[in-house]
Structure 1
């Protein structure tokens, strides 16, 4: 008889465990625990509370990603003021005062590493326009690059270096419109 009582008690206990149960959480919300080891909130108002699977697929709130546009300015040839300053990933690029020599527009470039990592490569994209807005030249180039696998040549944090000048073969004008962007910064 004791075997029968034990079996009956076990059957009753297991059936009560397998039935759906309602639990009230500390914040007052109610949750239904299901037989298949899943759960769902029990809606107590007109507001629908998402289940755990809905929460996983629900989009979270965040600041939107802004696509960086090229920064541009109009430069007067021979002006001694720096032309443009750019920043990306803790790296500052300064485009210096322009000169025109032998059919080439020359813009000196310097780089400053404000980040906490060493920089090994800086690539710029650019476009040069005439005063009337005609595209004269566009492209990209590596303005600063360390020697591969030679750590002493890396641009260390909190240091500056002369970059490769932006030199463009264009016709001579008293001023140009330039657009420049830091395409990539490679760090180690």
Structure 2
């Protein structure tokens, strides 16, 4: 499903794997600090060990091979190199075949995130080597409930009608 946060979650995962913590002493965490050098660099799009590849625009074997050639090298800044291949279902057959070899025996310092809106178009040989997480759109009522919680916690005034409008357009 489009617009459910796949790329955002990928960035959070990259931060979780590479977060140094606000004191610079942190390790892998479920709650990245968002302020250390690694978290800030990922947010700014300048963390050298995090790469996003849009397979809709870069679907060929050459692009994937170039990415895989970089993957063999140890991380420069972080603990892990994290590669997200967005719209992975758009890769060519040759690109999938090139990727398969690395997915079978990935380097310990590399994490691949394969995001797609059409999982059935991803070859079974690729899917069988990955953990699968299905994302779905959040319901309008869940958005309203969360907004009300945040408004209450932050002690903000908001009209019910405004909350409903925000929830409607947030979907």
TM-score > 0.5 by shorter chain = no
More helix by share: 2
| TM-score class, shorter | under 0.3
Question: Structure 2-normalised TM-score?
Answer: 0.21
The higher radius of gyration belongs to: 1
TM-score, length-scaled by structure 1: 0.19
Whose strand proportion is higher, 1 or 2?
Answer: 1
